[in-house]
């Protein structure tokens, strides 16, 4: 299954991912960065299996991220 990878350290907190896809993104009140809901963290990189039903939208979100820190592999 494809995965969403979020390089959270580099997030600038613009909020576009949350605006487009609130199902899996939240803006952290603690540090102002986006958080990938239910993502598993490894060395500050967050990973979540990509369900087919949200694939198209997630690709759009990855494209929209201004600092290109959302990858789909």
Partner 1 sequence: MKEREIELLSPAGSFESMQAAINAGANAIYFGVEQLNMRTRSSNSFEINDLKEISGICKKNNIKCYITLNTVMYEHDMQLLLSILQEVKKQAIDAVIAADFAVIQYCKQLQIPLHVSTQANVSNIEAVQFFAQFSDVIVLARELTLKQVEHISKEIKRRNIRGVSGDLIKIELFVHGALCMAISGKCYLSLHTQNAAANRGACIQNCRRSYTVKDTETNEELVVENEYIMSPKDLSTVDILDQLIYSGVDVLKIEGRSKGADYVHEVTACYREAIDAVFANNYTEEKKTNWLERLSKVYNRGFWEGYYLGRKLGEWTNIPGSNATERKIYLGKSTNYYSKIKVGEFLIEAGNIKEGDELMVIGPAIGMAKETMNTLIVNGEKAELAAKGDKITFPFPTKLTGHDKLYKIVKP
Chain positions contacting partner 1, by CB under 8 A: 11-16, 27-33, 64-67
- Across 23-61, b (16+ Cβ under 10 Å) vs e yields ebbebeeeeebbbbeebeeeeebbbbebeeeeeeebeeb
Shortest spacing between CB 54 and partner 1, in angstroms: 19
**Residue closer to partner 1 (CB basis): 2 or 67:** 67
Task: Pick the closer one to partner 1 by CB: 37 or 49.
Answer: 37
Closest distance of CB 67 from partner 1, Å: 6
């Amino acid at each position: 299954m494809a995965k969403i990878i979020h390089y959270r350290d580099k997030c600038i907190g613009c909020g576009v991912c949350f605006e487009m896809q609130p199902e899996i993104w939240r803006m952290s009140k603690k540090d102002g960065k986006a958080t990938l809901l239910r993502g598993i963290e490894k060395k500050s990189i967050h990973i979540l299996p990509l369900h087919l039903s949200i694939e198209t939208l997630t690709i759009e979100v990855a494209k929209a991220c201004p600092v290109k820190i959302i990858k789909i592999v």
